[in-house]
Amino acid sequence: MSETDASPRIGQVVRIVHGREAGQLAIVIRIIDSRFVLLADGEKRRFDSPKRKALRHVDLLPYVSPEVRRSLLEAGRVTNGKLRFAISTYVNHTVKRFEEGR
């Protein structure tokens, strides 16, 4: 991740680029410090056992789930179903934009 990239946001979708889970999508559920975040996807990585990941090992994608963000900021937690829904919403939105040629 270069210094020109924006900082991560709670509820932001990321693509893991290094490690065993490379290529998978996850959501930032907590920012530990300037170098590390906690990630969950609601399926393999549940909210209760998130993955600690270095920011240099993820690509920040241009989508922040408003539902996940609101839930985490208000209640401090989010359901695994909501995490799965947010990732599928991002994937469907990306496919739709790709099919439209944008």
Q: What is the mean pLDDT of the chain?
A: 91
Residue 46 lies in a domain: yes
pLDDT tens for 8-45 read 999 999 999 999 999 999 999 999 999 999 999 999 99
Closest CA to 56 of 8, 102, 21: 8
Domain CATH number, residue 70: 2.30.30.140
Q: Which residues of 55-72 are buried (b: 16+ CB within 10 A; e: fewer)?
A: bebbebeebbbeebbebb
User: Is residue 72 situated within a structural domain?
Assistant: yes
Report if pTM > 0.85: yes
The residue among 3, 5, 4, 27 whose CA lies nearest residue 15 is 27
Do the Cβ atoms of 91 and 24 come closer than 8 Å? no
Q: Domain span at residue 73? A: 12-99
Cα(19)–Cα(42) distance, integer angstroms: 19
Is residue 7 included in any domain, yes or no? Answer: no
Residue 54 placed within a domain: yes
Mean pLDDT of 60-84: 96
Residue 5 lies in a domain: no
Residue 3 pLDDT greater than 90, yes or no: no
